Amino acid sequence: MTTPAETAEATDRWALRRVRHEVRRRVLTVTAVERLSPGMLRLVFASPDLADFVSAGFDDHIKLFFPIEGGEPAMRDYTPRSFDNAAATLVIDFAVHEAGPATAWALSAKVGDTLNIGGPRGSVLIPEALPWLVLIGDETALPAIGRRLEEAQDGETIATLAIVDAADDALAVETKAAWTPHWLVRDGSDDTQALTAALDAVLPADKEGFIWLAAEARVAKALRAHLVEVRGFSPKQIKAAGYWVRGAEGVHERIE
């Protein structure tokens, strides 16, 4: 029988930790453009302002301000894929399947172009030193997933489950973790159904670890509900977010 003290200990070890950062606007210059896959474009930026850039969490978000002719800039949330304070550089990966001002700008970007960014305002850090971590998502989650894998320490056990449009969209990542990747290629079925059906191959038998997931908002909500209501995980063991909303622009939704 689980005692109240044991329950409190389990709750605490899954607790998220919030860190606030000074909010700053920065002007960045494109220094490199690389097509990682049919669905992913990488831009490298540089600026003296990046010498004190802070991003504590692998799934942090910064605001990118894309110019709109004759109107206010369009703001979009993107993950800092990696950064180097000494070199004053920042890498951002763009999933380029969805049309919109961000995709249009990224696809036409060239060395020397400039872009304004803001933040990150803060970080919400998932627990460390747990038996395992599972990362689930679609293309929009790949920058965060890739960053977490690259930042992993020796001895970590991480499994990933990602759904993409084509096999060529599966990305190679160097990591120190014991990493088990699972890639799903869309075959016309709903993302929720495909990801849910693949969970058996990804989730460990014990329920001692942590699950992070990000996808289209309705997909992320459905997966979180399934993990809690069907699989029996505590809501505290899951951090879920809707990185985009079908039929809407510029929406990022935290799911609680």
**Segment 77-117, tens digit of pLDDT:** 999 999 999 999 999 999 997 678 999 999 999 999 999 99
Task: Determine the pLDDT at residue 32.
Answer: 98
The whole-angstrom separation of Cα 127 and Cα 4 is 21
Residues of the chain within CATH 3.40.50.80 domain(s) are 126-255
Q: What pTM value is reported for the model?
A: 0.93
**Segment 170-228, tens digit of pLDDT:** 989 999 999 999 999 998 879 999 999 999 999 999 999 999 999 999 999 999 999 99
CB 153 within 8 A of CB 177: yes
The third-level CATH classification (topology) of the domain covering 126-255 is Rossmann fold (3.40.50)
Options 3.30.360.10, 2.40.30.10, 3.90.110.10, 3.40.190.10; CATH of 19-122: 2.40.30.10
Task: Of 91-100, 124-133, 138-147, give the lowest mean pLDDT range.
Answer: 91-100
Instruction: Please give the mean pLDDT across all residues of the chain.
Output: 92
Express as a percent the part of the chain with pLDDT over 90: 83
CB 171 within 8 A of CB 181: no
Distances (CA, A) of 131 to 128, 159, 198, 208: 9, 12, 21, 6
pLDDT above 80 (res 248): no
Task: Determine the pLDDT at residue 1.
Answer: 42
Residues of the chain within CATH 2.40.30.10 domain(s) are 19-122
| Angle at 160 (CA atoms; ends 57, 248), nearest 5 degrees | 70
**Segment 144-154, tens digit of pLDDT:** 999 999 999 99
* Residue 236 in tokens: 């505290």
Distances (CA, A) of 79 to 83, 113, 147, 233, 243: 11, 19, 9, 27, 10
Q: For residue 98, what is the enclosing H or E element? A: none
